[in-house]
Structure 1
Amino acid sequence: MISEPLTLFIFRSDLRIDDNTGLRGAFSSGLPVVPCFIFDPAQISLNPLNCNAFGFMMKSLIELNHQIIQAGGQLNVFHGNPIEVIDKIILSGVEIRSIHMNRSYSEYGVSRDLEIGDFCRRRGVSLHCWGDCLLREPEELHKSDGTPYRVFTSFWKRHKSLGNPPIPNSFDYKFLPVNFLRGSMGRSWAERVAEFSEFDCRAEIMAEGGRKAALSLLDRIVELDNYRETRDFPALRGTSELSAHLKFGTVSIRESYHRICSLFGEDHELLRQLVWRDFYAHIGFHFPHVFQRSFDDRYADLRWPGDIENLSLWKAGLTGFPIVDAGMRQLSQTGSMHNRVRMIAASFLVKDLLLDWRLGEKHFASLLTDIDQCSNNGNWQWAASTGVDAVPYFRVFNPWLQTRRFDPECTYIRRWLPELDQLSTRELFSIERVRKSGLNYPEAIVDHASASSYFKNFMRYSIRGSV
């Protein structure tokens, strides 16, 4: 039996010990700190479960446990409702004086943390929720009238005016070597890992989990001086590839920010992308209705007229539009998709196939290793022209023109559509030449010009209240 009072730190999407705001706060309590992680059934029982993201998280947890062992402790891993797990620890006779954790901004995360707060008040436990995964918290960045920003450029300017975030700090503490998993409290670390091995990723995921891989990518940022010029070309390795690591917190947002600043200065395009991540998190926090319906109320009740049977063809990469199909096959095979191609594929689903953006949002959420609810929602609503500061509805991506501009040698297309490798680049630029090739590749399931024209009229009339 442990006689002294303890501080419990709950890891979530912050799977590192260096530059971890909440963990540092836990040690500032002056009490011994015991680290834990809780597999929440509400998240891992999702149908379908995102096995790619789960596999990335498991690899990151294994590395995190090694970090904690080197710091004198052990990661205590539980499976259950977070409140029930905490209550079970308290009922076992352990005096938990305070609980520390980093904030969440997803729809479920905000609701869960409010419930944990209510529970801790009833139990007389001090709860501390720290801001860690964003550059700026939702409460500290707003317009002069106190309302949230709805336009990114204004958000960006205000963000820059607040100065740089804190300098990252290294971990220099020791954990208390407490093992809650002995006896009735739960299974051992090895048993818990084995329990969830069935959920391991089903794809050859491109992103490798863990702190070691994150730091390697952080070092590689030095190669991205020309990021603005290379980021939109899917055949190039022109992006940071840090998104999954930022999602699961194997690297901190501050480490990323200051690494970019030290190399390229405070106006580099990569920093702007980090602030876009903040922007969508703030939108999700202030306007949680976006997780159910359009941000723009004019489109809240749209009845999407597309043929639902085309959804399965889009998912499988069988639309007859090579750049779209290449992206969808990359996603299904690797759990990743280049950001430019994500925009093309999303625009195609909504503005060519005339299907509800939420169907695409859900599919991406089931496969992307770097899935972040706020960013995924924001990006889909941007592409659908229903969201905050979205692309105008009359701007429709032409898959053929996008191919010419961003995959001019069709290198990306050939990588993911090997059945088209026999065609010349010129042939791959033409729907007619692809159709007449006689290869085992589907004909285009829609006519782009007709479909995009229909979409524009559909949205125009919906604004007028005719739909």
Structure 2
Amino acid sequence: MKIKSPLVIFWFRRDLRLIDNAGLWAALSGEFNVFPVFIFDTCILNKLDKKTDTRISFIIEALHRLNDDLKERGSSLLVLHGKPLDIFSDLTKKYNVKGVYTNEDYEPYGLARDKEVSEMLSEKGITLFSFKDHVIFSKNSLLSGAGKPYGVFTPYSKKWKETLGVNDLKAYQSETIKDKWVVHNGGVVPRAEKLGFKTFRNIYKVPVLDHSLIVNYQLNRDFPAIDGTTLIGPHLRFGTISIRTCVRFACDTNQVWLNQLIWRDFFIQILWHFPRVVNTSYREKFDRIEWLNNEEDFERWKNGKTGVPIVDAGMRQLNQTGYMHNRVRMIVASFLSKHLLIDWRWGEAYFASKLLDYELASNNGNWQWAAGSGVDASPWFRIFNPVLQSLKFDPSGAYVRQWVPEFGTPRYTSLMINLDLGRKRCLEVFKRAVQE
């Protein structure tokens, strides 16, 4: 593919759409035509389970849809596979690149990768331009009166809502500029098998903001047997829908759902300010906890064989679909970290390997919340009783029966732990650690 004219590259990442894309709008508004590129980063892919990871199938379907949109504009998506540093080094040799545009990444790996790519490009006289697109407020946008990052959600949320203005939600009209693309037809989206992964069918569902569902969100969101959640998580993760679109919709319909979107911003800014939370407890004294980390218990938890029906239902739903209801996520996380005394990092890593909507900041933040070690966490002495949770939020047992059909028969596994004894043991161990 020979393209001699000067151009800029737009590096698609977690923003797989033409509509309302901040970085793409900036690229298309410039002097040069835009060459669209997506990279399957081997530094990320090599850490994934080739047999069970459904995210690759989701991304590939999103890329097909993106490529179809680009073809309507006479262009196509160049999909590459390798280490971004090496790929951009090669691209700058092949093409007359005047700049690289992308949207910001806030995770430790992404920050290090972008720094490395930016430095290499700079040596060639090329600038990497990054834009805020994944969140409403990022980095140091919202600080306390003392100039510190917020560590408690309520004041952060208050400041978030007070600061929110019309311009923060204004949609970028990136999809309307149709004559600034590099014209070529060489882009081909690979099959998952080409990358060494298994193809999963029907993983990608077109994102829909259901008005009636969101209006009634707070009434139904805690009941896993009811279709009461938006399932928009994977689309926010991979940017097939704009966060601004979601927030505008939430502002007009339901403040409870808006708060869920603010939690997402909150956890992302915590990760940016405190990248150590990836491997250590936000509240550092919790790293003194003497975890049991029984591997057999962990396997039973992973496989939904604990003898606690709602825990088993949640884990089986996760293993089979890549999704778990949010209320059930809290229950299974509390059970693992408190009743079984298994390090929250084990559970966080397992969720990271299975969740289609996995986002490091939210997954880490929610696991630390459940374990009591995180920012604005549930008190360490609060231990969910999974039986009471099931009676309250799955009173008919419909959710349990859907995922644990053998429940109530002799085939169902026996309870792996006495819940009262597990609770008492947890209180003793946590108290010893946090009150030293």
User: Do they superpose with TM above 0.5?
Assistant: yes
What pairs with 1:318-337 in structure 2 (closer than 5 Å)? 318-337=305-324
| Structure 1 residue 55 displacement after superposition | 1.3
- Of 361, 385, 388, the residue aligned with 1:398 is 385
**Map of 1:416-455 to 2, 5 A cutoff?**
416-420=403-407, 423=408, 439-455=410-426
Instruction: Find the aligned partners of 1:381 and 1:180 in 2 and give their Cα distance.
Output: 47
Tell me the CA shift for residue 89 of structure 1.
1.1
Equivalenced residues, count: 430
1:167 aligns with 2:166: no
Q: Give the alignment of 1:336-375 within 5 angstroms.
A: 336-375=323-362
How big is the shift at 1:197? 6.1
How does the TM-score come out when normalised to structure 2?
A: 0.95
Aligned equivalent of 1:428? none
SS in 2 for 1:61: helix
Matched-pair contact (CA < 8 Å) for 1:16–1:250 = yes
Structure 2 residue runs of 5 or longer lacking an equivalent are none
Q: Equivalent residue for 2:181?
A: 176
Q: Which residue of 2 aligns with 1:134?
A: 135
Superposition deviation, residue 193 in structure 1? 3.1
In structure 2, C-alpha distance between the alignment counterparts of 1:39 and 1:350, rounded to whole Å: 34
Cα separation, partners in 2 of 1:38 and 1:115, compared to 1, 3 Å: same
Identify the residue that residue 60 of structure 2 maps to in structure 1: 58
Following superposition, the deviation at residue 463 of structure 1 comes to 1.6
1:351-409 CA-to-partner distances (Å, cap 9, x unmatched) read 11110111101110111100101111001000011111100010000000000110010
Corresponding position of 1:238: 228
**Higher mean displacement: 322-331 or 161-170:** 161-170
SS at match of 1:415: helix
CA contact (8 A) 2:88 2:117 kept: no
Runs of 4+ aligned structure 1 residues displaced above 6 Å come to none
Whole-Å separation in 2 of the counterparts to 1:67 and 1:257: 24
2:426 partner SS: helix
Aligned residue type for 1:37: F
Q: 1:259 to 1:44 in 2, by over 3 A?
A: same
Distance in structure 1 (CA, Å) of the matches to 2:10 and 2:350: 33
Task: Give me the whole-angstrom Cα distance separating, in 2, the residues matched to 1:270 and 1:222.
Answer: 12
Output the CA distance in 2 between the equivalents of 1:410 and 1:107: 41
Question: In the alignment, residue 251 of structure 2 is paired with which amino acid?
Answer: C
Per-residue deviation, 1:179 = 4.4
Where does the alignment leave 5 or more consecutive residues of structure 1 unmatched? 182-187, 424-436
Cα deviation for residue 5 of structure 1 reads 1.4
AA partner of residue 9 (structure 1):
F
Give percent identity, aligned residues only.
Answer: 38
The corresponding residue for 1:462 is 433
Contact 1:53 1:371 in 2 (8 A): no
Q: State the distance in 1 between where 2:293 and 2:248 align.
A: 46
1:73 aligns with 2:72: no
CA 1:339–1:11 in 2, change beyond 3 Å: closer, same or farther? same
CA contact (8 A) 1:76 1:179 kept: no
2:240 maps to 250
Deviation of 1:103 after TM superposition, in Å, equals 0.6
- Report the TM-score when normalising by structure 1: 0.89
Over residues 71-107 of structure 1, what are the superposed CA-to-partner deviations in whole Å (9 max), with x where a residue is unaligned?
A: 2211011111111111101112x11111100011112
Q: Give how far 1:58 is off.
A: 1.1
| Shift of residue 110, structure 1, vs aligned partner | 1.3
What is the aligned partner in structure 1 of residue 33 from structure 2?
Answer: 32
Deviation at 1:222, TM superposition (A): 3.3
What are the Cα deviations for residues 148-179 of structure 1, in whole angstroms up to 9, with x where unaligned? Answer: 10000011000001124222244111243444
1:286-338 Cα distance to aligned partner (Å, 9 max, x none): 00000011111101243312422100000010000000000000001111000
- CA RMSD for the aligned pairs? 1.7
